[in-house]
Amino acid sequence: MIIIKSQEALSKMRASARILKDTFRLLEENVKAGITTEELDRLAYEYITRSGGRPSFLNYNGYPASICASVDEEVVHGIPSKRRLEGGQIVGIDIGVFFEGFHTDAARTFAVGKISPEKQKLIDVTRQCFFEGLAAVKEGARLGDVGYRIQRYAENNGFSVVRDLVGHGIGVSMHEDPNVPNFGTLGHGIRLKEGMTLAIEPMINAGSYHVKWLGDGWTVVTCDGKPSAHYENTVVVTKEGAEILTLRREEKADG
């Protein structure tokens, strides 16, 4: 069942997203060679709870941390640990915030120090995949158009789209209907309606799209060991297009 959000619900989601955006600002300043992903997790936990929110991921199906931190060939759901980030790596950070009854969810992939041109292209294309998909979003559009556009942009750039994980509706619960695949067929899928809230989250691999789960039950890695990037925002479907709840003003300039 898809939950359409009222104006009141949307203002609470904007407040939830505000905390999430500020948490990202803090983490981005701290993503550097030498920091551990556990330290980043701690910063996020402290910031979210001091703001009156709760980290959506903590204890979700037993998940043991507040953020996911996925390095290089880790696609998503990397568990923060004592591992120190090293120059040349890319790290996908995924954060969920629950505030006043509503969840928001966003992810970014950051460079640690100087990275290879191929990793930079992967980060840039993954971000642009989100905006390509978003361009299809508006009242009455088909969900398949969103996935189609994401897939086309990734593949035209020589990358592949993860099939085993998808985006999702979000709000009252972290995962609501509908599923939002990053692949699809034009003219297929449900029709979007004003007030739907979606987490659109391309997961793009430099090599093949095949992924597997590590023994910790969470970390998803590429089967070929090549890097993967993740970019996610929580958005609201509107009559004319979409409102991106989790995008900071300073991120829009280069968008």
Give the side-chain half-sphere CA count within 13 A for 173: 11
By the rule CB under 6 A, 105 interacts with ligand MF3? yes
Joined together, the tokens standing for residue 34 give 């030498």
| 156-175 positions binding ligand MF3, by CB under 6 A | 168
From the list 57-65, 111-119, 136-144, 146-154, the region that binds ligand MF3 by CB under 6 A is 57-65
Residue type, 238: T
Contact 56, 174 (CB under 8 A): yes
Instruction: Report, in Å, the least distance between residue 200 CB and Co ion.
Output: 9
Span near Co ion by CB under 5 A; candidates 4-12, 102-110, 189-197, 207-215: 102-110
Q: Which is nearer to Co ion, 41 or 115 (CB)?
A: 41
Minimum CB distance to ligand MF3 smaller for 73 or for 232: 232
Residue 105 touches Co ion, criterion: CB under 5 A: yes
Peptide bond into 178 cis (omega under 30): yes
The three-state secondary structure class of 164 is coil
Pick from ligand MF3, Co ion, none: which does 77 bind, CB < 5 to 8 A by kind?
ligand MF3
Asked if 77 is part of the footprint of ligand MF3 (rule: CB under 6 A), the reply reads yes
Q: Are 109 and 91 in contact (CB under 8 A)?
A: yes
The answer to whether 41 contacts ligand MF3 (rule: CB under 6 A) is no
DSSP string, 85-116: P-TT-EEEEEEEEEETTEEEEEEEEEE-SS--
**Token pair listed for 170:** 């979000």
- Among the candidate windows 17-25, 60-68, 137-145, 221-229, which touches ligand MF3 by CB under 6 A? 60-68
Question: Which of 24, 47, 57, 98 touches ligand MF3 (CB under 6 A)?
Answer: 57
The Cα 35–Cα 15 span in angstroms is: 29
Per-residue contact track with Co ion, 201 to 220, x per CB under 5 A? x-------------------
Helix axes of 37-50 and 7-30: crossing angle, nearest 10 degrees: 140
Q: Is residue 74 close enough to count as binding ligand MF3 by CB under 6 A?
A: no
HSE toward the beta carbon, residue 66, CA cutoff 13 A: 22
Q: Is residue 68 near ligand MF3 by the rule CB under 6 A?
A: yes
> What are the residues binding ligand MF3 (CB under 6 A)?
57, 60, 63, 68, 77, 94, 96, 105, 168, 199
